[in-house]
């Protein structure tokens, strides 16, 4: 209407309008944009995730009182304060002031559920440029993001597992749980679980608790596998179901579970776990402590353990014991017949054990009894003893030195009385007639536990110390007594009882011992160190703990000295189970005794405030030590020697085994190959004796002997004895040391003219004859003066070749190692007149033969030269030899005709020998006498030389 009014009014003059324009324009500006836009003070909006438009309440509308004035009454923009808000406001209609709130991108409810920010409206100002625009007040906008059910439920665990006891109904065996990543309660909450496995005796509730709907039976089914799924409250199902395994256990009985009754042990494999999967079941009771004892029972193996069964003397040398000990219980023999009446038990591995049943005893010969016992001496023995029958047991004497006749004084003795070990030592009058310590008592469980123990009594008067299995024990009671008055009465040393020679009508034994003894020795003048004692009783097998450092610090463990008993104690059941798993068996012997080793485990469980709350049954298992690969000890070398008689009677004698070689092999099985293959492997181990026996008649001491320098034994654990039957080298030492010593053995004969041959047999042993070598036989042929120039010396250089050396008789005395270079040969005996005549005739005949051969050789040479001239002339036609020249050195000695003739004879003989070799090569190793028992290893065999004169026989070696 205003515009219409302006049209109807008369127009002023042009000049007047022009003058009034500036004034009108300024006034219009002031009156056209007088007011600010107006909006609500707060807005609440909702936007669904993954959409753009926000639904606001109330709607977004801005009003301006300047309307309908253009620009001033129009809305140009809505500004949002808060850059972090991912929204923008858009003007839909500037005249009406309508706007819309939009998201700049996709809104994720899982990232942010609500937004709050400030919004403000702007008018368009007073003109097209938007100058002098006005802003509304600030309004608060609250926006809530609506959720979309885009995620499916996911179980927290990939697999679930539980265990139940048969015969019980559980309200809840276990609880499964699924989650949903949606942000709203409607879509993020799990409203239902379901077991999808058909016909399962289980059910599940809305909270995921699984229960059994019937009593389960361990015999019917020991394990169930079921599948469980879940739905959220938007009825979206889990994409992956959860497997649930439920184990059915029998009615809980406390005890050890998961152990095997038998454990196989392969020799040489070191330490092996006995119970790698064993654990203790306590049926869920609260425990305060657990104590477990593992015992390795080896009383049936030797002396209670798998030890190296070498002789007592050899063991003492290996352990560095002092020399001079006397063995009071040696093996029965020609010179040790006082033990022949005793009952012996060789045990499982050649341990010599003497069993006493209360009726046997032995008198030690006077020549063997140590006469120089001083203030220091040692008594040692292995003993196995049980409690004595009866209420009042008698003394049981191991060792007793008493008067032989007239009186019944005990000078010293070692006996057992009521499970106490007593050592009696009555001193003679020396300087002072005063009370002195005379009886020493020890009360120990080991004395009557029916197990083998090693007892050592070290006497440093007046101090006496007892060692049992290497552990020291001081006497709990020492009784003083008067010294014994000197007398001329002989004494008698006995083993197994005490000799009562006086004060009775008939001398007899008394105080018999009941038990087993082995290795009873007495060493006068010196005591043994604890290191040697520990070495002598050391056990090669026992219990062990793998990775000791990995044990929990709260676990207490203890081994006995022999490592046959292990005690472990702890408060936490898991730590005890982890410790028991590490218990192992170890056997460090190279060739252990095969068979069973019993293992016994006992357990005590204590609860809080109670002594014992659970009874854990003991368990028994066995360690089966498998048969070790048995070594095959092989002796090889020259089997035949032919030597001049002068070599046997020389100052050094004849070296018998100069080319000896001792080796040991075992058969291994390669199971990794496609087909099981067996192959020989050479091993290194010790020997304990080698015997050189004379075959045929024994050695005559007045004419011959076997000799060995004592210097060759220095620095080794070896000793040697010699007799008319041969020589024995004994002691625990390496095969190489035995080789070295045996090669030094020499045979000496002072009257070789009476000898044609000698035969010897060499055998070696390991572990007291448990493993023996082959019988290596050596034959010596003696060459007298008429044969000495024709013999052939055969030398076998092991392992794969043989040398043949033909030595002139004039050099033999200096080439053999038995002779020194400066020792002249023995002069031959003077011939008789008849023999001289025969020799002269033979010399003349030989001279005639040489002359005839010389003439024949000259004639033959002329014929060959004539043939050579004819051949040369014929060859001139085919080729020119003008450049060929032969120069003969006049200073070079030419071979005589006799030597040329002998060379031709030797060539003819060698051709004949080659024919003999072809016949001999047909002999195979299977036909050799040495291959009867040697299946895997073929020893070299030397064929007998032929009886031809100076011809050389080539030997054949079979492999």
Distance CA 760, CA 777 (A): 6
Q: What is the percent of the chain where pLDDT is above 90?
A: 33
Q: What mean pLDDT do residues 682-707 have?
A: 92
Asked if 719 contacts 708 with a C-beta cutoff of 8 angstroms, the reply is no
24, pLDDT greater than 70 = no
- Phi, psi (deg, nearest 5) at residue 576: -65, -45
| pLDDT, tens digit, 9 for 90 and up, residues 894-910 | 444 444 444 444 444 54
Phi, psi for residue 178 in degrees, rounded to 5: -120, 155
- pLDDT number for residue 390: 66
pLDDT confidence of 156, banded at 50, 70, 90? very high
Q: How many CB atoms lie within 10 A of CB 179?
A: 15
CB-based contact 309:767 (threshold 8 Å) = yes
Give SS3 for 468: strand
CA distance 644 to 642: 7
Q: What is the rounded average pLDDT of the residues 75-97?
A: 86
713-747 pLDDT, tens digit each:
988 889 999 999 999 999 899 999 999 999 999 99
**What's the pLDDT at 28?**
47
Residue 426 binned pLDDT confidence (cut-offs 50, 70, 90): confident
Extended strands (E) in 482-617: 491-495, 498-500, 508-510, 514-524, 541-545, 556-559, 565-570, 583-587, 595-606
% the chain with pLDDT above 70:
76
How many CA atoms, within 13 angstroms, populate the side-chain half-sphere of residue 576?
Answer: 23
Listed range (412-416, 582-586, 639-643, 911-915) with the worst mean pLDDT: 911-915
Positive or negative, the CA dihedral 60, 62, 68, 71 is: negative
Give the residue-averaged pLDDT of 833-852. 69
Q: Is the pLDDT of residue 189 over 50?
A: yes
Angle at 670 between CA 666 and CA 673, to 5 degrees: 160
CA nearest neighbour of 87 among 124, 64, 60, 61: 60
pLDDT at position 170 is 92
Provide the phi-psi class of 64: left if phi over 0, else alpha when psi is between -120 and 50, else beta.
beta
Strand 223-232 with 262-265, pairing: unpaired
Residue of 661 and 311 predicted with greater confidence? 661
Q: Taking residues 883-902, what's their average pLDDT?
A: 40
Mean pLDDT of 75-83: 85
| Mean pLDDT of all residues in 916-920 | 44
CA 412 – CA 455 distance, rounded (Å): 17
Phi-psi category of residue 145: left, alpha or beta, with phi > 0 → left and psi -120 to 50 → alpha: beta
Distances (CA, A) of 666 to 71, 809, 887, 907: 113, 45, 64, 47
Query: Rg for the chain (alpha carbons), in Å?
Result: 56
Q: Give the model's pLDDT for residue 432.
A: 56
What are the Cα distances from residue 174, in Å, to 180, 189, 245, 646? 20, 20, 10, 100
More confident residue, 150 or 932: 150
Is the predicted pLDDT of residue 874 greater than 60, yes or no? no
Q: Is the pLDDT of residue 533 over 50?
A: yes
The alpha carbon of 892 is separated from its chain's Cα centroid by a whole number of angstroms, namely 72
> Could you read off the pLDDT of 464-502 as tens digits, one per residue?
999 998 889 999 888 877 767 677 778 889 999 998 877
Higher pLDDT, 593 or 487: 593
Model pLDDT for residues 321-345, shown as the tens digit of each residue: 777 888 898 888 888 888 888 888 7
User: What pLDDT shows up at residue 350?
Assistant: 53
Q: What is the pLDDT of residue 853?
A: 76
The phi, psi pair for 668, rounded to 5°, reads -105, 150
Summarised one tens digit per residue, pLDDT across range 251-305 is 878 899 999 999 999 998 889 999 999 999 888 777 888 999 999 988 777 777 8
> Residue 778: beta bridge partners?
760
> Distance between CA 76 and CA 58 in Å, rounded?
20
484: how many CB neighbours lie within 10 A of its CB? 16
Cβ atoms of residues 332 and 340 within 8 Å: yes
Mean residue pLDDT across the chain: 78
**pLDDT-based confidence at residue 788 (cuts at 50, 70, 90):** low
Q: Are residues 76 and 130 in contact, defined by beta-carbon separation less than 8 angstroms? A: yes
Arithmetic mean of pLDDT, 575-604? 91
User: Dihedral angle at the C-alpha atoms of 576, 580, 582, 586, nearest 10 degrees?
Assistant: 150
How far, in Å, CA of 237 to CA of 227, rounded? 14
Strand ranges in 188-302 using DSSP code E only, listed in sequence order: 190-195, 202-204, 209-212, 223-232, 242-249, 255-257, 262-265, 271-273, 279-281, 289-297
CB 123 within 8 A of CB 71: yes
CB 421 within 8 A of CB 413: no
pLDDT tens by residue, 752-784: 888 888 999 999 999 888 899 999 999 999 888
- The whole-angstrom separation of Cα 185 and Cα 278 is 48
How far is residue 339's CA from residue 584's CA, in Å, rounded to a whole number? 41
Rounded Cα distance between 341 and 270, Å, is 42
The whole-number pLDDT of residue 878 equals 37
CA distances from residue 13 to 20, 79, 264 in whole angstroms, order as listed: 11, 47, 132
Closest to 176 in 3D by CA, of 240, 249, 252 = 240
Is the peptide bond between 836 and the residue preceding it cis, with omega within 30 degrees of 0? no
Q: Is the pLDDT of residue 860 over 50?
A: yes
**CB atoms near residue 16 (< 10 Å):** 9
Say if pTM beats, i.e. exceeds, 0.75. Answer: no
Partner residues linked to 114 by β-bridges: 144
Tokens of 904: 């031709």
DSSP state of 322: P
Round to whole Å and give the CA distance between 923 and 930. Answer: 13
Neighbours of 862 (CB within 10 A): 9
DSSP calls for 284-301: T---SEEEEEEEEE-TTS
| 704: nearest Cα among 782, 783, 640 | 782
User: Distance from first CA to last CA of the chain, Å, rounded?
Assistant: 139
Q: What are the two backbone dihedrals, phi and then psi, of residue 170, each rounded to the nearest 5 degrees?
A: -105, 135
pLDDT at 873 over 50: no
Q: How far apart are CA 348 and CA 800, in angstroms?
A: 40
Buried b (16+ CB within 10 A) or exposed e, 239-255: eebbbbebebeeeeebb
Cα(279)–Cα(432) distance, integer angstroms: 67
582 backbone φψ class: left, alpha, beta (φ>0; ψ -120 to 50)? alpha
SS3 label, residue 908: helix
Q: Of 455, 462, 420, which Cα lies nearest the Cα of 438?
A: 462
Whether residue 249 has pLDDT greater than 70: yes
Q: Could you tell me the pLDDT band of residue 422, with boundaries at 50, 70 and 90?
A: very high
Question: Which of 340, 383, 346 has its CA nearest to residue 514?
Answer: 383
The token pair at 881 is 């030899």
d(CA 758, CA 110): 107
């Amino acid at each position: 209407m205003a515009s219409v009014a302006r049209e109807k009014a008369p127009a002023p003059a042009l000049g007047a309008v022009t003058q009034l324009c500036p004034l009108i324009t300024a006034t219009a500006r002031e009156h056209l944009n007088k007011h600010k836009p107006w909006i609500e003070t707060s807005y609440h909006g909702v936007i669904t995730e993954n959409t753009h438009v926000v639904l606001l309440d109330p709607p977004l509308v801005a009003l301006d009182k300047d309307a309908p004035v253009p620009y001033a009454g129009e809305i140009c923009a809505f500004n949002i304060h808060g850059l972090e808000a991912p929204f923008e406001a858009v003007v839909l209609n500037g005249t009406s002031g309508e706007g819309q709130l939009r998201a700049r991108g996709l809104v994720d409810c899982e990232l942010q559920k609500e937004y709050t920010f400030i919004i403000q409206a702007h008018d368009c100002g007073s003109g097209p440029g938007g100058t002098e625009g006005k802003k509304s007040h600030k309004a608060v906008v609250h926006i809530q993001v609506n959720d979309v059910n885009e995620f499916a439920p996911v179980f927290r665990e990939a697999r679930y597992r539980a265990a139940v006891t048969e015969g019980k109904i559980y309200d809840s065996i276990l609880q499964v749980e699924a989650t949903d990543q949606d942000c709203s309660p409607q879509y993020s909450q799990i409203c239902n679980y379901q077991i999808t496995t058909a016909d399962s005796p289980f059910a599940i509730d809305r909270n995921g608790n699984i229960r059994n709907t019937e009593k389960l039976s361990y015999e019917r089914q020991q394990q169930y596998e079921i599948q469980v799924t879940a739905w959220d409250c938007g009825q979206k199902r889990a994409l992956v179901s959860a497997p649930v395994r439920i184990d059915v256990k029998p009615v809980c009985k406390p005890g050890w579970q998961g152990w095997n009754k038998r454990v196989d042990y392969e020799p040489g494999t070191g330490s092996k776990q006995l119970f790698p999967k064993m654990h203790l079941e306590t049926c869920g009771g609260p425990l305060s402590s657990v104590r477990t004892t593992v015992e390795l029972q080896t009383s049936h193996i030797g002396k209670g353990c798998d030890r190296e069964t070498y002789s007592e003397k050899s063991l003492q040398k290996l352990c560095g014991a002092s020399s001079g000990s006397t063995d009071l219980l040696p093996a029965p023999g020609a010179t040790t017949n006082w033990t022949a009446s005793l009952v012996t038990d060789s045990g499982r591995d050649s341990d010599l054990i003497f069993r006493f049943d209360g009726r046997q005893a032995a008198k030690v010969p006077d020549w063997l009894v140590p006469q120089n016992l001083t203030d220091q001496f040692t008594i040692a023995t292995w003993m196995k003893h049980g409690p004595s029958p009866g209420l009042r047991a008698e003394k049981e004497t191991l060792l007793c030195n008493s008067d032989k006749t007239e009186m019944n004084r005990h000078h010293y003795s070692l006996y057992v009385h009521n499970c106490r070990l007593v050592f009696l030592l009555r001193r003679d009058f020396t300087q002072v007639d005063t009370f002195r310590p005379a009886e020493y008592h020890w009360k120990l469980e080991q004395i009557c536990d029916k197990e083998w123990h090693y007892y050592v009594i070290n006497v440093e008067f007046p101090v006496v110390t007892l060692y049992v299995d290497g552990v020291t024990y001081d006497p709990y009671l020492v009784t003083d007594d008067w010294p014994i008055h000197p007398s001329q009465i002989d004494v008698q040393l006995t083993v197994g009882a005490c000799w009562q020679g006086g004060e009775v009508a008939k001398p007899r034994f008394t105080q018999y011992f009941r038990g087993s003894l082995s290795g009873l020795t007495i060493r006068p003048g010196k005591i043994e160190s604890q290191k040697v004692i520990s070495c002598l009783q050391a056990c090669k097998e026992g219990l062990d703990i793998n990775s000791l450092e990995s044990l929990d610090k709260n676990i207490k463990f203890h081994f006995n000295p022999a490592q046959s008993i292990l005690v472990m104690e702890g408060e936490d059941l898991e730590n005890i189970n982890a410790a028991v798993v590490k218990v192992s068996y170890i056997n460090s012997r190279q060739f252990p005794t095969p068979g069973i080793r019993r293992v016994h485990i006992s357990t005590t469980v204590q609860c809080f405030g109670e002594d014992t709350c659970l009874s854990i049954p003991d368990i028994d298992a066995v360690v089966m030590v498998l048969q070790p690969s048995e070594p095959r000890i092989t002796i090889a070398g020259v089997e035949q020697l032919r030597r001049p008689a002068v070599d046997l009677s020389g100052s050094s004698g004849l070296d018998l085994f100069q080319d000896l070689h001792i080796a040991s092999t075992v058969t291994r099985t390669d199971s990794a190959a496609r087909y099981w293959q067996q192959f020989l492997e050479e091993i290194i181990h010790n020997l304990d004796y080698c015997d050189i026996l004379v075959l045929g008649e024994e050695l005559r001491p007045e004419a011959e002997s076997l000799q060995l320098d004592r210097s060759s034994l220095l620095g080794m654990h070896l000793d040697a004895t010699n007799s008319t039957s041969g020589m024995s080298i004994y002691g625990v030492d390496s095969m190489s040391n035995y080789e070295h010593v045996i090669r030094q053995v020499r045979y000496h004969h002072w009257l070789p003219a009476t000898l044609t041959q000698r035969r010897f047999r060499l055998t070696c042993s390991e572990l007291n004859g448990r493993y023996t070598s082959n019988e290596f036989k050596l034959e010596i042929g003696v060459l007298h003066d008429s044969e000495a120039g024709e013999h052939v010396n055969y030398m076998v250089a092991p392992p794969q070749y043989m040398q043949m050396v033909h030595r002139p008789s004039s050099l033999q005395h200096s080439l053999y190692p038995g002779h020194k270079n400066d020792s002249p040969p023995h002069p031959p005996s003077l011939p008789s007149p008849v023999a001289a005549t025969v020799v002269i005739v033979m010399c003349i005949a030989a001279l005639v033969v040489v002359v005839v051969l010389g003439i024949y050789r000259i004639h033959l040479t002329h014929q060959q030269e004539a043939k050579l001239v004819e051949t040369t002339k014929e060859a001139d036609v085919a080729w020119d030899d003008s450049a060929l020249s032969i120069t003969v050195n006049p200073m070079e000695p030419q071979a005589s005709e006799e030597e040329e003739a002998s060379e031709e004879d030797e060539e003819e003989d060698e051709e004949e020998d080659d024919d003999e070799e072809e016949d001999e090569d047909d002999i195979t190793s299977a036909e050799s006498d040495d291959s009867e028992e040697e299946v895997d290893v073929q020893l070299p065999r030397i064929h007998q030389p032929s009886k031809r004169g100076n011809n050389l026989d080539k030997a054949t070696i079979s492999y």
